[in-house]
Structure 1
Amino acid sequence: MTQIPISRFPLRPADELPADLAERYAEVQEKSGFLPNVFAALAWRPDEARAFFAMHDALMDKDTPGLSKADRELIVVATSAGNDCLYCVVAHGAVARVRTKDPHIADHVAVDWRKAPLSPRMHAVLAVATRLAADPAAVTADDLAGLAEHGLTQDDVWDVGMITSFFALSNRLAHFAAITPNPEFFLMGRLPRSAEPARDATGG
């Protein structure tokens, strides 16, 4: 089988990474069993890699009253599918399967979130998020008020917008650089834990 390049841009050797990134990358690889390709793709621009992962962590590594970590991953899957971003759909679909403990939900959301077996709250969230991803000017104050009616706090509503917007950047970068998903992502959350190659890592 022909090996597909990770990126159209240069890849920095691991031994040439700045110390802080080398430490983070090593931790991710040890935890996951592999290094997500977005890490490798961004490594040649260290300042941007640091900023990218800092924003990712600030948005995705928390549970709040209206948005769990699993909910956040489903926002990424739905909006990335709308942007035709294979890397983000596959990578965040894997983490969504792990965090929801549902081997099928990410596929439902990626193909047609409207018919996915989600709560009314999450249907409302994804309706606003996918509208923002596809037609930003169409999002209204009434849309945001509707999210509040489903129990989202003001911070949660902001997070819906920030997650969607940040991953719009990620989607476009993945397209531009032709970043390919790691094979390990395709099986995460589908097999019994002992049979999986890795758990819970995306980075982008």
Structure 2
Amino acid sequence: MTTPAVSRFPVPDIANLPDDIRERILAVQEKSGFIPNVFLALAYRPDEFRAFFAYHDALMEKTGPITKAEREMIVVATSSANQCLYCVVAHSAILRIRAKSPHVADQIAVNYRKADITPRQMAMLDFAMKVATRAFAVGETDIATLKEHGFTEDDAWDIAAIAAFFGLSNRLANVASIRPNEEFYAMGR
């Protein structure tokens, strides 16, 4: 069996990338032991690579009342709804590690409503899924429900922004046919 291509679009040689992008990719490789295919695929468009990862980092690396594991829960649930193989597999691996649970990512990817999560996390994912699938229908009652579970308006923004950003990511990954790295499948199990 032949290994599928990283992307249907050209994947640039790392040696030929702008210094800042090459350095970021090599830093990720050093930390994780491999280069996630999304980095290689998005490097095809350097300006967009920079913008994508700047917003990604602003959303996913911040500290606050929504933990990094919960942020990954949002990504896994909404990416599953968008049928994004790359994002479900890659972010499930990150979620397993951040949640210190070998099961929760699989549960959320299949049906978050049956997952072993808290009522607060369920409300968070209900809202994220509404943003991902029916953002036009989001209203004040949705924000009120989040507040009943201890979320603030800033938290609602974060949840919505993560769901919306990964809607973009899911669509790009699907169009480009970005393949998950084999390493992701076993991480955190």
Normalised by the length of structure 2, the TM-score is 0.98
Aligned to 2:187: 188
1:6 equivalent in structure 2:
6
2:111 and 2:44 mapped to 1: Cα distance?
36
Equivalent in the alignment of 2:91: 92
Report deviation, 1:62: 2.0
Paired residue for 1:32?
Answer: 32
What is the match of residue 199 of structure 1? none
Letter in 2 for 1:70: A
Instruction: Give the residue type in structure 1 aligned to 2:86.
Output: Y
Output the amino acid matched with 1:158.
W
**1:44 is paired with a residue of what secondary structure?**
coil
Q: Give, as a single letter, the amino acid of the residue that structure 2 aligns with 1:88.
A: C
User: How far off its partner does 1:63 sit?
Assistant: 2.5
What letter corresponds to residue 75 of structure 2 in structure 1? V
Separation in 2, partners of 1:188, 1:5:
21
Give the structure with the higher percent helix.
Answer: 2
Q: How many angstroms does 1:155 deviate by?
A: 1.5
Unaligned runs of 5+ residues in structure 2 are none
Residue identity in the other structure for 1:73:
E
Paired with 1:85 and 1:28, the residues of 2 have a C-alpha distance of 22
Alpha-carbon distance, 1:102 to partner: 0.1
Partner residue, 1:109: 108
Q: In the aligned structure 1, how far is the partner of 2:44 from the partner of 2:114?
A: 41
Distance in 1 separating the partners of 2:36 and 2:144: 37
Partner of 1:197: none
Alignment length (residue pairs): 189
Identify the residue that residue 130 of structure 1 maps to in structure 2.
Answer: 129
1:187 counterpart letter in structure 2: A
| AA matched with 1:79 | T
CA-to-partner distance for each residue in 1:108-157, whole Å, 9 max, x for gaps?
A: 00001001011110000101111111111121111012111211122111
Q: Which stretches in structure 1 are left out of the alignment for 5+ residues?
A: 191-204
